[in-house]
Structure 1
Amino acid sequence: MAVISLPPGFQIAPVPFFGEVPAPEPRSRLGVLENFNGSFTGSGFNSIFRPHSGPNTKFPRDNILELNLIDDSITFSEDFGAVPNRGLMSQSNIFLNGISYVQAVNAVTNEETGKADHSPIGIHFETGLWMNVPPTNNTPVLGESLVRMGSIPHGTTINAQCLAPTSNSSGPPELPPASLAVFPSQGGGSAVPIDSVNASVVSSLRRPQDLSKFIAAGTITQEILDDPNTVLRNAIKGQTILHNIAFTVSTTPPPPVFGGGTANIAFLEGDPAITNPNANAIQMNATFWIETVQHKLQVPIFKRGQAPMKISPASPAHQRVPVYLVNPPHDITVPKTITVTSIQIQYSQVVNLVFDGLIWPHISVSTLIPSDPVTVPDSVWN
């Protein structure tokens, strides 16, 4: 699991100029980002059409569809303070607040079993920042917004934004479909047929080439290749989700948000005019669902003063569940059932890569739960 820490006592703060009027503190220091607290681990699915440098004269020439069952971990830092952004003339100064993060993703795709039980192979590492930007009423006129700034070792950085969510939705989230369809990079035209997205075909341009064991295990199926968000829906089947908060950050955000984007190293762009890129990342959209999940815990007999207990709720075999730290404030003389909640994060991310005259979607989906035990509050025992 990736770890992240700030130097002891580190807090960003403004350095005032003589006579400067300080900006008001934002309504919420972090807003919805307060839920990105500590470490989360989970599992999911990752697909990428990657460039192929070997000989292949059939169009599209240069692609290998790599499909991965993944273990995922994200660790968030504490709020590192008020970051001053200076306004010009009539625009007041503002304070941004945020957290840093580290993400590490391992492929655990086992071609022998068709399951996610292979020894881990690192396939993604990302560092970055999540920031909450307070509303402004001059330049620009914009409501409270969120920003994700990330960097990956392949040579791409992102700056993705959205307006901050303003409400919760009751119950589980509505998870829209995602698509592995490939389109011409010049715009227009219909999707280009790609044999490797047919699960029943044993494709030389896919890894794994033979999906029969994965189909039998239900881990990579035609339904999943048609809509990778199927993995997210399967992950929450049978869960009691009380409410969820959803937002989508994008490097090309819709109005009224503007700015942001992607930046790539020379190798990825291929040439100064980007006419023959190796894998130019042109856009990223990522939707996050922050879910409050309710669980039932069976608490055994307990005598006050003994060591706290670590208890996990019952769950279907395919679901990971959090561990709860249970320390009743009084004796439990007979076994008792209590109701508890924890935060669960789901995301669906699409990065569009351009090479060989086509736009290739790189899709990652994951369901994450707290890595560390969740403390049961005293209010549960009232």
Structure 2
Amino acid sequence: MAAISLPLGFQIAPAPLGGVPGPSVPAPLGVLANFSGTFNGLGLNTIFRPNSGPLNTTTFPRDNVLELNLINDTITFSQSLGAVPNRGLALQDDIFLNGVSYIQVVNDVTNLKTGRADGAPTGIHFEAGLWMNVPATNNTPVLGDSLVRMGSIPHGTTINAECLAPTSDSPGPPEIPLVSLVPFSVLDGKPLQPGQLENLNASIVSTLRLPNDLSKFVAAGTINQEILDDPNSVLRNAIKWQNIMKTTAFTVSTKPPPPEFGGGTRNIAFLEGNPASTKPNANAIQMNATFWIETVQHRLEVPIFKVGQAPMKLSPASPLGQPAPVFLVSPPHAINAPKNITVTSLQIQYSQVVFFGIR
């Protein structure tokens, strides 16, 4: 499991060299206060990746391979950073940001023999970065509270993704939209016809898809036509049995819509292909990611307990095999017969789309 820690007592603040002092307490975290500790769960990764080979064998539609991964995803957040000073010029006051650093580790757990997410783990993604809460400003720029995710991955891409901070929660579960895997032309932006790509047909054994044969996954319900048509159905199916009390949602983007601005992606030379990026191998040009922070209500059965007994670690049932939260329970009095109690936990779901330029 990934781990991240800061030196004991580490907090960013203005250096004590005179001038305007910083705040006496850490700057606000806003919704990022929910990003604490470690979150782990199962999910799905998809990527149309470049297909290398002789030009006469890798022209469209054989210029790409659709890779599908059943994954185990772990994100670990550090303690907050404190009060990060950003200096304003002239009439713009100084501001103080706060945030958390994070490490994300994703393992492929696809099992070709069972069609389930119970295979030996193979690392396919590592990301280190920061989530920061940026306070509102009324001069340069005139902008409300905002969030920024800054991340870097070992393939050679860095991102700076932003959005305005959410201002309210929504009761109940999230409304997770449909999303399509169908790629689009870099020339006119029009999506291809689904029938043009055999790798999006779950019933076809395709050499342009990994795994080639999805029959065991279809039988297990882990990858089927519904999921190829709408990968976000994985998220909806994972929570349909849960009692979600409230949801906070936000979408960060490297090309955020107005009034937000800034952000972007940068890639190493190999990914861009040439100085003009006209022959990219896999040039990451945009990233959008929606996060849903959900408060989930659970029912726990507390077994017989004697005063003085060590605290118990209890987890609610998880019908779909997803990792379940662990509660440390230490009743203040004896429990002479099993008893049901109601508790809540926090969970994070996200859907991320990265646009690659491939020619």
- TM-score interval, smaller chain: over 0.9
SS of aligned partner of 1:8 = coil
Letter paired with 1:147: V
On the 8 A contact 1:113/1:213 being kept in 2, the answer is: yes
SS of aligned partner of 2:79 = coil
SS of aligned partner of 1:146 = strand
- The yes-or-no answer on 1:221 pairing with 2:234 is no
1:306 aligns with: 309
Identify unmatched segments of 5+ residues in structure 1: 357-382
1:274 aligns with: 277
Match of 1:261 among 264, 267, 280: 264
On the 8 A contact 2:62/2:208 being kept in 1, the answer is: no
On the 8 A contact 2:182/2:191 being kept in 1, the answer is: no
- The yes-or-no answer on 1:44 pairing with 2:47 is no
Letter paired with 1:119: A
Letter paired with 1:260: G
Displacement of 1:191 in angstroms is 2.0
2:28 aligns with: 29
1:54-133 matches, within 5 Å, as 54-55=53-54, 56-133=57-134
Displacement of 1:194 in angstroms is 1.6
Letter paired with 1:220: I
SS of aligned partner of 2:219 = helix
> In percent, how many aligned pairs have the same letter?
70
Displacement of 1:24 in angstroms is 6.1
More contact order relative to length (CA 8 Å, sep ≥ 6):
1
On the 8 A contact 1:109/1:115 being kept in 2, the answer is: yes
1:352 aligns with: 355
Distance in 2, matches of 1:278 and 1:57, equals 13
TM-score between the two structures when normalised by the length of structure 2:
0.96
- The yes-or-no answer on 1:12 pairing with 2:15 is no
Displacement of 1:330 in angstroms is 1.7
TM-score between the two structures when normalised by the length of structure 1:
0.90
Displacement of 1:25 in angstroms is 7.8
SS of aligned partner of 1:225 = helix
1:139 aligns with: 140
Identify unmatched segments of 5+ residues in structure 2: none
Displacement of 1:201 in angstroms is 1.1
2:205 aligns with: 202
Distance in 1, matches of 2:177 and 2:58, equals 36
Q: What per-residue deviation string (whole Å, max 9, x for no partner) do you get for residues 245-298 of structure 1? A: 000000000011100000000000000011100000000000000000000011
Distance in 1, matches of 2:27 and 2:224, equals 43
Displacement of 1:36 in angstroms is 0.7
Distance in 2, matches of 1:129 and 1:30, equals 12
CA RMSD of aligned residues (A): 1.5
1:237 aligns with: 240
- The yes-or-no answer on 1:335 pairing with 2:338 is yes
